[in-house]
Amino acid sequence: MPPPSPRARTASGRAPVHRTPVHRSPVQRIPLSRMAVLDAAIALADAEGIDAVSMRRLAEPLGVVPMALYKHVADKDDLLDGMVDRLIGQFSPGAEADAAAPAIEPGRDWAAAVRSSVLSARAVIQQHPWARRVIETRSRRTPAVLGHMERLTQHFLAGGLSPDLTHHVMHLLGNRIWGFSPELFNAPDSGPAAPERSRPTPDPDPADYPGIIAIATDARARRPEALGCDEEFEFRFALDVLLDGIERLRATGWSSPTL
């Protein structure tokens, strides 16, 4: 067997090793879809707050250019609407599927059904601190939004409430149907605290507000470990009081005055 030719040897004098080339398959990317975009936006808002959500920032984890997102969401408002819709779909099992034609059994315990639906919404909203702010700024009634309102409406009607009373009850519940209370002076959900500003008037003297002091003192004695009001307790307390009052109105056949 003749020795290898000089050209067949490497610079070290050894014969080269012939390797079979490896054919690597391209990286498999998850196909871009509206749901993928919305879920990525929710994940980004959960991690960094709603102010971090932009087309540019959203494109990064999806591995696309920002313009590619506009095939699936029309604009920022459409993106926010879609994010809210995705959360509404988690309010209760099958919420998205039965939005158009919810099956409500007549005569069932309507108060228990409404309470369960509202608390289900609250459980979802509490997992996403940015959601309240976004819901409060939405003006478009999407099918998901209308579906949730329809399910609650059907619970009331099936429980014997008149359309008239149901109309006013929905106004009464207000934002509670989305899982949060219309509290005053809530701390902001996110963002840096506002800097202290000099005030032209002196701070209030606690002695001028004995009623408020009495309430605060009693609450602190009952829950010394709490840093403030128990928001979860207050939400459930208000919901139960409202439902009890609504039942009394239903039982007495209440109706609004005719103009």
**What domains sit in the chain, N to C, each tagged with a CATH number?**
103-184+227-259 (1.10.357)
Closest CA to 129 of 77, 52, 239, 57: 52
pLDDT at position 16: 56
pLDDT at position 97: 42
Residue 23 in contact with residue 106, Cβ under 8 Å?
no
Closest CA to 170 of 192, 190, 155, 191: 155
pLDDT at position 237: 94
Cα distances (angstroms) measured from residue 163 to each of 97, 153, 169, 245, 255? 25, 9, 10, 17, 9
CA–CA distance, 245 with 229 (Å, rounded to integer):
24
pLDDT at position 198: 66
pLDDT at position 119: 96
pLDDT at position 26: 44
- No. of helices (H) and no. of strands (E), the chain: 10, 0
183: left (phi over 0), alpha (psi -120 to 50) or beta: beta
Per-residue pLDDT of the chain (259 residues; tens, 9 = 90+): 555 554 545 455 555 555 555 454 444 456 899 999 999 999 999 999 999 999 999 999 999 999 999 999 999 999 999 999 999 999 975 444 444 444 555 556 999 999 999 999 999 999 999 999 999 999 889 999 999 999 999 999 999 999 999 999 999 999 999 999 987 555 555 445 556 666 677 888 888 889 988 988 998 898 888 777 888 999 999 999 999 999 999 999 999 998 8
Closest CA to 77 of 53, 99, 57, 60: 53
